[in-house]
Amino acid sequence: MKRRTRPRALTALLALALALCVCAGASAEKVSNVGFYFDTVVTLTLYDPEPGLMEELFAACDRYEKLLSKTVEGSDVDRINHGGGQPVKVDPETWEILRRAGEISEASGRAFSVTIAPVTALWDFTGDPPRKPTSEEIAEKLPLVDDSRLVLGEDGTVTLPEGMEVDLGGIAKGYIADQVAALCEGRVTGAVLNFGGNVYCVGRKPDGSGFNVGIRDPQGSEFSTKAVVTVTDTSVVTSGIYERYFIQDGVWYHHILDPETGVSADSDLASATVVHPSSMTADAVATACIVLGRDGALELLDRLGLDGMVITREGDIAWTEGFDTATQFRLYP
């Protein structure tokens, strides 16, 4: 009897071990889906997701677009922008984004300013033809750019002086990436959540390694890579001057504006990458870095205790002290 049961138990054990290997290994289910939100292609890749999770994540994107887009009528941002100087009650999430935006605005010496909206509205970087406003138009709107005048009430309200407006384009995708990543917690073995320049990597690849994220070569084509980082459970956010731009009279005009001038930041940077578990922080800080330029960007990152790398318009690369260890980054090819 004993002789016969032993091999059976062994077989069962072997089968169990094999099943575990298969689960942890090559046959992990990987599903990818693409959507278009926040004016950006959103690509979500999930490993071994719980049933229904993908749909839930895209539903969240939909909800956030309706809450935070300045072009969606009735969104929180639309209501704030049309508040006529009166307090506007907003969703606690909108309030929290504006609170954090205010902190980063202050820390960056206003290089990051969500009240840039009246000036961004004058520009069209992707139209055919694109639009560059006159200096008179800019001068008229520039006094409306002042994040220090945005008031967050303890009662969950937001008040903006008449004529001022907010644009969350430099921070909202980061916040949404954080929320979508949080929804994945414990419900996937890994995920890569790509919101244009904001990539959130959750967990690990089926083989246990981290996810590779390429950092584009600003001087090259859409597909050329300057560096690759390997990360787990963190976000990699890149802001660049090559996404939305036009060239006029030899000047490169792009969608990140200097709040002091109302014109595209003319710093020495072509891109800035920030790696941090808060994609919202990384998003806003990466935008500020483009305005500040190489030295100001590295100083800001150090001061805030963040890791990142910058690429200048000349193609030089610089990074914070901890960036190496945080990302095992290597130059490419």
Pick from 218, 219, 240, 215: nearest CA to 230: 215
Give the residue, chosen from 81, 115, 287, 320, that forms a contact with Mg ion under the rule CB under 5 A.
287
- The binder of ligand ADP chosen from 167, 178, 217, 307 (CB under 6 A): 167
Note whether 259 binds ligand ADP by CB under 6 A. yes
Q: At closest approach, how far in Å is the CB of 169 from ligand ADP? A: 2
Residue 60 and residue 176 in contact, taking contact as beta carbons nearer than 8 Å: yes
Which region, judged by CB under 5 A, interacts with Mg ion, from 87-95, 168-176, 266-274, 306-314?
168-176
Q: Which residue is nearest to ligand ADP (CB)?
A: 169
Q: Does 116 interact with ligand ADP (rule: CB under 6 A)?
A: yes
State yes or no: residue 307 binds ligand ADP (CB under 6 A). Answer: no
**Closer to ligand ADP at the Cβ: 30 or 244?**
244
* Residue 312 near residue 219 (C-beta atoms within 8 A): no
Contact partner, 294, from ligand ADP, Mg ion, none, Cβ < 5-8 Å per class: none
The reply to whether 169 sits near Mg ion by the rule CB under 5 A is no
The single-letter DSSP state of residue 183 is: H
- Nearer residue to ligand ADP within complex by CB, 184 or 282: 282
Residue 149, SS3?
helix
Of 205 and 216, nearer to ligand ADP (C-beta) is: 216
293 binds ligand ADP (CB under 6 A): no
Could you tell me if 165 and 144 are in contact, meaning their C-beta atoms sit under 8 angstroms apart?
A: yes
Asked if residues 152 and 17 have their Cβ atoms less than 8 Å apart, the reply is no
Instruction: Establish if 264 lies at the interface with ligand ADP (CB under 6 A).
Output: no
CB 203 → Mg ion: shortest distance, Å?
24
**How far apart (Å, rounded) are the C-alpha atoms in residues 68 and 216?**
28
Asked if 296 is part of the footprint of ligand ADP (rule: CB under 6 A), the reply reads no
Query: Token pair of 41, please?
Result: 């292609």
Measured from the CB atom, the residue of 177 and 202 that comes closer to Mg ion is: 177
Q: How far apart, in whole angstroms, are the C-alpha atoms of residue 301 and residue 204?
A: 26
- For residue 55, give the 3-state DSSP assignment: helix
Residue in 102, 118, 197, 308 binding ligand ADP, rule: CB under 6 A: 197
The correct pick among 49, 83, 118, 169 for binding ligand ADP (CB under 6 A) is 169
Q: Which two tokens stand for residue 90?
A: 């907003």
Give the amino acid at 276.
Answer: H
- Give the shortest CB-139-to-Mg ion separation in angstroms: 26
120 binds, among Mg ion, ligand ADP, none (CB under 5 to 8 A by kind): ligand ADP
3-state SS, residue 316: coil
Residues 6+ apart with CB under 8 A from 118: 141, 144, 145, 163, 164, 165
Query: Residue 33's beta-bridge partner residues?
Result: 44
Q: How far is the CB of 243 from ligand ADP (least distance, A)?
A: 5
Greatest alpha-carbon span in the chain = 97
Q: Which residues are near Mg ion by CB under 5 A?
A: 170, 239, 283, 287
